[in-house]
Amino acid sequence: MGRFISYFLLIISLAGSYSNAQIYTQKDVEVFNAKFKLAVSKNLAKDSIGDVIASIGKSFIGTEYAAHSLEQGKTEELVIDLTGLDCTTFLENALAFARCIKENKTSFEDYEKELTKIRYRNGVINGYASRLNYFSDWIFNNEEKGIIKNISKKLGGVPVKFNVNFMSAHSGAYVQLKENHYLIPLIENQEKEISERLYYYIPKEKVAAAEKEIHNGDLIAFTSAIKGLDINHVGIAVKGKGGSIYLMHAPNVGYKVQIADEPLSVYISKVKKDTGIIVLRALEPGKL
């Protein structure tokens, strides 16, 4: 079936157009129903939220990588694409499902609200600039919302500031910025705010030592050596044989959601553009 697009209210503001619209397909609804059927069959609601994230993540293994899946339409709308995922949408969807399962929120509307809360600044869609485009901004805002906690300092992490300007410096590579130049100053202001914040990360040479403290279902962000960028890649930690931690992720175009063959510390040691990791722990809904 074709795309379902429902429009409610459009308000023009400095940040762009506000919309409660959603874009999804009947296939997405079918995948949604299958996830909750799985949750009931395995009684996932009794598990910790980290274990639920890992279980839902594993149910996406084999899903095709889909680049730029959120760049649809002229206005910013909630895009739900459960048949094709990039690294961030894989993480977001696993987290949204887990939160809904833990709170026994099983309607598609509940899921839309949860995904909106996670993906957008303060849970409100107000134009392209309201999307948490930089993952360090995603971390900051979702910590404020009580959804996750950066536990990197506790695991031996060290302070870091990200000097970000990648989006504004490469605006031609982003469809929304290329077509709507008025958005660039908004992104520049966000970049300035992000660059002033203090974060904690675990340098790659310390990941092996920290690995034993990483839990199943923790969220992993890979810090970047690329100028102007904060995070290169994200994924989900899964505990393997012998207690080793492996990365479950949507790697890149041409690949499918998978679990890396080597432990996390070995995996990151081979990626030159990664400087370390940020470890995020999802908080149980309603328990700050």
Q: How, if at all, do strands 219-224 and 274-282 pair?
A: antiparallel
Residue 287 has a pLDDT of 62
Q: Where in the chain are the domains? A: 4-282
pTM, two decimals, is: 0.91
Percent of the chain with pLDDT over 90: 88
- Residue 274 C-beta-side C-alpha neighbours within 13 Å: 24
Task: Quick: pLDDT tens for 115-154.
Answer: 999 999 999 999 999 999 999 999 999 999 999 999 999 9
Burial class (CB in 10 A: 0-12, 13-18, 19+), 38: middle
Euclidean distance between CA atoms 149 and 168, whole angstroms: 28
Taking the CB of residue 170, how many other CB atoms lie within 10 A of it?
Answer: 12
Residue 75 or residue 40, greater confidence: 40
Query: With 70 as the cut, is the pLDDT of residue 227 above it?
Result: yes
Query: With 60 as the cut, is the pLDDT of residue 42 above it?
Result: yes
Euclidean distance between CA atoms 86 and 67, whole angstroms: 6
Query: With 60 as the cut, is the pLDDT of residue 10 above it?
Result: no
Residue 241 has a pLDDT of 80
Q: How, if at all, do strands 274-282 and 199-203 pair?
A: antiparallel
For residue 65, give both structure tokens.
Answer: 């990588």
Residue 286 has a pLDDT of 75
Residue 72 has a pLDDT of 85
**Overall CATH class of domain 4-282:** mainly alpha
Task: Quick: pLDDT tens for 153-168.
Answer: 999 999 999 999 999 9
Residue 20 has a pLDDT of 47
**Facing residues of 223 across strands?**
231, 276
Radius of gyration of the chain (CA): 18
Residue 21 has a pLDDT of 61
| Cβ–Cβ < 8 Å for 125, 267 | no
Mean pLDDT of the chain: 91
Residue 74 has a pLDDT of 79
Q: What is the DSSP letter of 261?
A: S
Name the 3-class secondary structure at 91: helix
Task: Quick: pLDDT tens for 246-282.
Answer: 999 999 999 999 999 999 999 999 999 999 999 999 9
| Average pLDDT estimate for 88-94 | 98
For residue 238, give both structure tokens.
Answer: 């899964």
